[in-house]
């Protein structure tokens, strides 16, 4: 039996852009039923101790190489974990999921980046190129299952899982980047400049760490919060402003780990922003 949740998720996959809510959106990969050659499952970096959001593969589609991130299923009510019960009641599960589910979080962040880079005619990029979202076909589901890929973190008896099991698998196609990032002060200055730009565009990355960069470009936007964002709107302004500083602290932390950046003045700038009451992303 196909549940209403599965039907709704199938309808979402047919849209030209996602997510269907106010704010930026990502377009579908033009070929909706591509033949995928699975070449290699990519290792997660050792530094990422948080649970993974999915699995990333090097794939070939129409003789081109890509990185394909296949996302785990996400329980909408989990999107509000940072809110008190009173505040959580004011935000719908659907909007919260569109803003927090790592799949939609990447769609929105990439949507914003693509619009801004295009509008400003910028040549230097912040993130790996993105070619759109893709909902996988049944045969791909079987291929993933054969590889032992499990996209459910929830127990089988979970109520949401029972309603949503059988929903299409969501994925995002990106440029595959082979080269590692060289963390020297020149490159890091450039990365910091781009990260500040991303923040000005209303995207807080929230997971700045060496493992989410390749060749100086961000490859993982699954934790990003892109404004307008229901969770940031649901909390007092000073709390949201604090969250908006996350990337600068994390960048600073990353440089400390790499033993560089003493001359980069990341945090004084952060203090300055904090004092600027009128600061808007």
Q: Of 84, 139, 111, whose CA–CA distance to 18 is shortest?
A: 111
Which of ligand ADP, Mg ion, none sits in contact with 42, Cβ below 5 to 8 A by type? Answer: ligand ADP
41 forms part of the interface with ligand ADP (CB under 6 A): no
Stretch in the footprint of ligand ADP (CB under 6 A) among 51-59, 79-87, 153-161, 245-253: 51-59
d(CA 150, CA 208): 26
Count of residues that interact with ligand ADP, criterion CB under 6 A: 22
d(CA 133, CA 127): 16
Q: Minimum CB separation from ligand ADP for residue 128, in Å?
A: 4
Q: Which residues pair with 260 in a beta bridge?
A: none
**Window 115-134: contact mask with ligand ADP (x via CB under 6 A):** -------------x------
220 forms part of the interface with Mg ion (CB under 5 A): yes
Query: Phi first, then psi: what are they for 155, rounded to 5°?
Result: -65, 155
151 forms part of the interface with ligand ADP (CB under 6 A): no
Stretch in the footprint of ligand ADP (CB under 6 A) among 15-23, 41-49, 117-125, 244-252: 41-49
DSSP-assigned states of every residue in 35-101: --EEEEEPPPPTT--SPPSEEEEEEEETTEEEEEEEEPP--GGGGGTTS-HHHHTTS-HHHHHHHHS
Q: Would you say 210 and 257 are in contact if contact means Cβ atoms under 8 Å apart?
A: yes
Which of ligand ADP, Mg ion, none sits in contact with 136, Cβ below 5 to 8 A by type? Answer: none
Q: Would you say 181 and 214 are in contact if contact means Cβ atoms under 8 Å apart?
A: yes
Q: Which is nearer to Mg ion, 67 or 169 (CB)?
A: 67
48 forms part of the interface with ligand ADP (CB under 6 A): yes
Tell me 203's DSSP state. Answer: E
Rg (CA), the chain: 19
Q: Minimum CB separation from ligand ADP for residue 45, in Å?
A: 4
Q: Minimum CB separation from ligand ADP for residue 253, in Å?
A: 17
Residues of this chain that interact with ligand ADP (CB under 6 A) are 42-45, 48, 52-54, 56, 67, 69, 128, 174-177, 211-212, 214, 219-220, 222
């Amino acid at each position: 039996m196909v549940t209403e949740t599965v039907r709704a998720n199938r309808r979402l996959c047919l849209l030209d852009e996602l997510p269907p809510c106010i704010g930026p959106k990502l377009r579908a990969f033009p070929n909706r039923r591509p033949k995928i050659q699975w070449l290699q499952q990519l290792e997660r970096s050792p530094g990422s101790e948080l649970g993974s959001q999915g699995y990333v593969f090097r794939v070939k589609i129409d003789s081109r190489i890509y990185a394909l991130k296949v996302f785990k299923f996400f329980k909408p009510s989990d999107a509000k974990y940072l809110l008190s019960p009173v505040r959580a009641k004011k935000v719908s599960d659907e909007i919260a999921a569109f803003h927090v589910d790592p799949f939609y979080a990447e769609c929105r962040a990439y949507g914003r980046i693509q619009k801004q880079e295009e509008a400003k005619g910028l040549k230097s990029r912040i993130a790996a190129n993105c070619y759109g979202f893709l909902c996988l076909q049944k045969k791909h589901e079987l291929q993933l299952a054969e590889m032992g890929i499990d996209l459910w973190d929830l127990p089988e008896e979970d109520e949401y899982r029972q309603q949503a099991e059988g929903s299409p698998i969501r994925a995002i196609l990106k440029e595959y980047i082979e080269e590692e990032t060289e963390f020297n002060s020149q490159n890091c200055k450039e990365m910091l400049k781009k990260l500040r730009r991303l923040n000005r565009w209303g995207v807080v990355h929230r997971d700045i760490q060496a493992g989410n960069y390749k060749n100086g470009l961000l490859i993982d936007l699954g934790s990003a919060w892109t404004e307008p964002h229901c969770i940031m709107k649901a909390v007092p302004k000073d709390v949201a402003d604090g969250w908006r500083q996350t990337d600068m602290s994390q960048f600073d932390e990353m440089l400390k780990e790499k033993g560089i950046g003493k001359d980069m003045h990341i945090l004084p700038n952060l203090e300055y922003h904090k004092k600027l009451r009128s600061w808007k992303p």
